[in-house]
Amino acid sequence: MFHPVVDAWFRRRFTDPTPVQAMGWPAIAEGRDVLLAAPTGSGKTLAAFLYCLDALVRESMEGTLEDRTEIVYVSPLKALSNDIRRNLEEPLGELAAMASDLGMRPPAIRTAVRTGDTSATERRQGAKRPPHVLVTTPESFYILLTSESGRRSLAATRTVIVDEIHAVAGDKRVPSPPSWTWASGATSTSPWKCCATSWGRCAPTSSGARSTIAWPSWPARTAPPSSS
């Protein structure tokens, strides 16, 4: 399913996928809007991210990766720093190292963060050379969707990942999934693929997702010993 670099990295770090990953990836690959509902530590955020990153790795390796934002990752501000490090910065750095180990050119994937604290200079830089993955908060995502320049910056977006949707769905800080359909039509030539994650017991019952993958509980995955 994955590019050799991504597959080798995953198996070196985790050995086997968790249930939410094993069942989530085929649904995401089919282009469905997916809600991944599972307990903390189940790997659901990586399940949402990895297939999307795999597509960017493939494009980078083939020399077809363009200067445009293809993935938007929305997460509550309190979790943003940890989410970026664990689910984006570390995997991208390790994927680059794995590519070098396999004698391949490391993928050149750019990321950027957009919050209320992002300076005007940083925003202009992002407009001139867009990140491939934009990390933002519900509030900033809303601003992007309701401004002409923001919608223009999302013209090439293919996937929107909303992490911990249970934390924001009830207070209107993030647009609801039905409005994503409208927004994708207003900003892009093709509909966005939407993937949301939620803690198992708090999964929204009206998420708008066309595929819900959920389990009540299972042991959290742990990385294999460093000696393996």
Distance CA 222, CA 124 (A): 40
pLDDT: which is higher, 30 or 56 = 56
Domain positions in the chain are 4-214
* pLDDT score of 211 more than 60: no
Position 228 confidence tier, pLDDT thresholds 50, 70, 90: very low
C-alpha 153: how far from chain center: 17
CB atoms within 10 A of CB 16: 10
Query: Mutual orientation of helices 90-101 and 44-62 as an angle, nearest 10°?
Result: 40
What pTM was estimated for this model as a whole? Answer: 0.79
Residue 98 Cα distances to 55, 60, 92, 137, 223, angstroms: 16, 14, 10, 30, 17
For domain 4-214, give the fold. Answer: Rossmann fold (3.40.50)
pLDDT tens-digit series, residues 87-137: 788 899 999 999 999 999 999 999 988 888 888 888 888 888 999 999 998
Dig out the tokens for 226 from the structure. 């460093």
pLDDT: which is higher, 115 or 5 = 5
* pLDDT score of 207 more than 90: no
| Calculated CA dihedral for residues 127, 120, 90, 77, nearest 10 degrees | -120
pLDDT: which is higher, 79 or 137 = 137
- 193 three-state secondary structure: strand
Distance CA 157, CA 69 (A): 6
